[in-house]
């Protein structure tokens, strides 16, 4: 493992890519520190500490602490992620977008995503400016003055700076993907999450000093290792469907005849079900809390450590796991493509029988992946409820943050290992000499 890290700097191209990526990540972190003009950041940090544990804490984690500073990059890369998800879902229902996707016109789809990102940035920045001008909506406790000079100029300044910050982060992510190593957008989210680890360690140390329970601390350490191992297994797990290609004679050449497999991921939807469930649960909780007869129900639904929230949250993750698969996985199109290129699944006729087999198989493995995903998603809430840990600490034990970090790290290591193997170096997961060099 250590020799593989040393070998990465022996390849000039890989070394330049890694250094280029680190430089742009440094620029992203600067955007998350510079605050928007006209905001008292000290009062804002105190307010964030009071309402920690909810959606605001999670957004602050994904932005790398930029929301606590009300920085230029406070919106982070999330508007771009939201726009990408919307475009991807619309591709499954709008024929024009589906045609662009089938033709491989990624440039046009990317341009649509950028335009939608700009619109979402303006809307979210306006909402953030209005919310910070009215802190009473966040907490009933008295606090200091957040915005000394509120009004239209402050809102226009906030929209301009935050929108510019997000567009800069989006551009930096695209540059990392093109000239660096790994997926730039995913790496930015991962670095923002990892940047909160020192604060989580400090909060965990304060919790240990207060509780003084060494056995519980050791239990949490073992649980963290088990959860990381389970997350890696969930990310890597797949069902291999054997594919056989028939021989074709074109002139004097023979094509096909080889055997391969089609990998079906157990967790096909990734972190999308968790994101959808968390986003949708916000609105009923806020709505029910405004009416007297349903105020108690809204309070229980807004607390992440309540049994009602955990139950509904888990059921929604199961539902959205199947929803994402149904919109993104098209067994009929896959079966038609296999038939067009002379491929078939042994034991099943090409066409509709193959599509039915793929649909049945995907339904079975999606259930296992959805259950495992639900368990990983609710672990931070259960830890906060039973151990009394701060959300900053418990979020590292599962949920969206751990799934994103594990998935991005594995993908980046694969790309680095590809460069190493191409230059006849051992990779991260390779021991001894390569088979081709024996």
Separation between Cα atoms, residue 242 and residue 223, nearest integer Å: 36
pLDDT at 118: 92
pTM: 0.77
Output the six-digit token pair for 119.
């619109």
Work out the pLDDT band at 267, boundaries 50, 70, 90. Answer: confident
CA torsion sign for 402, 407, 412, 417 is positive
Mean pLDDT throughout 61-90?
Answer: 81
pLDDT at 361: 92
Mean pLDDT throughout 270-288?
Answer: 72
Output the six-digit token pair for 349.
């006729």
Instruction: Count the neighbouring beta carbons within 10 Å of the beta carbon of residue 145.
Output: 10
Mean pLDDT throughout 277-300?
Answer: 65
Higher pLDDT, 369 or 288: 369
Mean pLDDT throughout 128-141?
Answer: 70
pLDDT at 396: 75
Question: Which residue, 405, 422, 406, is CA-closest to 7?
Answer: 422
Higher pLDDT, 69 or 180: 180
Rounded to 10 degrees, the C-alpha dihedral 270/272/275/279 comes to: -170
* Contact yes or no for 334/358 (Cβ under 8 A): yes
Residue in the block written with tokens 């909160």: 196
Give percent above pLDDT 70 in the chain: 80
Mean pLDDT throughout 4-27?
Answer: 83
What lies within 8 Å, CB to CB, of 190 at 6+ separation is 404, 405, 408, 409
For residue 244, which phi and psi values (nearest 5 degrees)? -115, 130
407: buried, middle or exposed (CB in 10 Å: 19+, 13-18, 0-12)? buried
In angstroms and rounded to an integer, the radius of gyration of the C-alpha atoms of the chain is 24
What lies within 8 Å, CB to CB, of 30 at 6+ separation is none
> Long-range contacts made by residues 52-58, C-beta under 8 angstroms, separation at least 24?
52/390, 52/391, 52/392, 53/304, 53/384, 53/390, 53/391, 54/302, 54/304, 54/391, 55/278, 55/282, 56/138, 57/391, 57/392, 57/395, 58/278, 58/391, 58/395, 58/400
pLDDT at 330: 86
Of the listed ranges 25-34, 284-293, 323-332, 399-408, the one predicted with least confidence: 284-293
Give one DSSP letter per residue of 32-69, joined into a string: TTSBPTT--HHHHHHHHHHTTTSHHHHHHHHTTTHHHH
Q: Which domains does the chain have, with CATH numbers?
A: 1-195 (1.10.3370.10), 204-397 (1.10.3370.10)
Residue in the block written with tokens 């002379």: 342
Which tens digits make up the pLDDT trace of 221-232?
A: 888 888 888 888
Separation between Cα atoms, residue 389 and residue 45, nearest integer Å: 19
Strand arrangement of the beta sheet that strand 343-344 belongs to: 259-265, 238-245, 343-344
What lies within 8 Å, CB to CB, of 310 at 6+ separation is 304, 378, 381, 382
Separation between Cα atoms, residue 186 and residue 177, nearest integer Å: 10
Task: Name residue 71's beta-bridge partners.
Answer: 35
pLDDT at 339: 85
Residue 265 pLDDT > 70, yes or no? yes
Please state whether 245 falls in left (phi above 0), alpha (psi between -120 and 50) or beta: beta
CA torsion sign for 333, 337, 340, 342 is negative
Mean pLDDT throughout 101-114?
Answer: 83
pLDDT at 119: 92
* Contact yes or no for 317/278 (Cβ under 8 A): no
Instruction: Count the neighbouring beta carbons within 10 Å of the beta carbon of residue 251.
Output: 5
DSSP class of 437: G
pLDDT at 141: 58
Mean pLDDT throughout 334-352?
Answer: 86
**What average pLDDT is seen over the chain?**
79
Separation between Cα atoms, residue 370 and residue 269, nearest integer Å: 9
pLDDT at 282: 67
């Amino acid at each position: 493992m250590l020799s593989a890290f040393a070998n990465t700097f022996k390849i000039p191209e890989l070394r330049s890519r890694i250094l280029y990526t680190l430089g742009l990540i440094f620029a992203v972190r600067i955007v998350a520190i510079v605050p928007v003009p006209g905001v008292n950041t000290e009062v804002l940090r105190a307010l964030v500490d009071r309402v920690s544990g909810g959606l605001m804490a999670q957004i602050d984690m994904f932005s790398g602490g930029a929301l606590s500073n009300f920085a230029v990059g406070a919106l982070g890369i999330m508007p771009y992620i939201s726009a990408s998800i919307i475009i991807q879902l619309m591709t499954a229902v709008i024929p024009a977008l589906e045609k662009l996707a089938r033709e491989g016109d990624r440039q046009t789809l990317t341009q649509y995503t950028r335009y939608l990102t700009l619109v979402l940035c303006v809307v979210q920045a306006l909402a953030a400016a209005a919310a910070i001008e009215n802190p009473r909506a966040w907490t009933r406790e008295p606090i200091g003055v957040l915005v000394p000079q509120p009004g239209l100029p402050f809102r226009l300044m906030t929209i301009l700076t935050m929108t510019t910050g997000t567009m800069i982060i989006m551009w930096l992510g695209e540059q990392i993907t093109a000239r660096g190593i790994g997926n730039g957008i995913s790496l930015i989210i991962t670095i923002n999450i990892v940047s909160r680890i020192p604060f989580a360690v400090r909060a965990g140390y304060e919790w240990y000093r207060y509780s003084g329970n060494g056995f519980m601390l050791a239990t949490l350490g073992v649980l963290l290792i088990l959860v990381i191992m389970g997350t890696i297994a969930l990310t890597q797990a797949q069902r291999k469907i054997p594919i056989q290609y028939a021989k074709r004679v074109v002139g004097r050449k023979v094509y096909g005849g080889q055997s391969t497999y089609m990998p079906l991921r157990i967790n096909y939807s990734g972190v999308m079900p968790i994101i959808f469930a968390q986003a949708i649960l916000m609105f009923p909780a806020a709505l029910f809390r405004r009416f007297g007869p349903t105020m108690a129900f809204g309070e229980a639904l807004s607390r992440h450590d309540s049994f009602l929230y955990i139950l509904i949250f888990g059921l929604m993750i199961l539902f959205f796991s199947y929803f994402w698969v149904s919109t993104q996985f098209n067994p009929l199109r896959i079966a038609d493509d296999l038939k067009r290129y002379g491929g078939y699944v042994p034991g099943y006729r090409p066409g509709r029988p193959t599509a039915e087999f793929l649909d049945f198989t995907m339904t079975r493995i999606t259930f296992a992946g959805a259950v495992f995903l639900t368990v990983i998603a609710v672990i931070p809430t259960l830890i906060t409820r039973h151990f009394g840990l701060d959300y900053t600490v418990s979020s590292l034990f599962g949920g969206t943050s751990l799934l994103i970090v594990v998935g991005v790290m594995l993908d980046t290591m694969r790309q680095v290992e590809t460069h190493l193997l191409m230059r006849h170096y051992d990779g991260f997961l390779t021991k001894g000499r390569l088979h081709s060099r024996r």
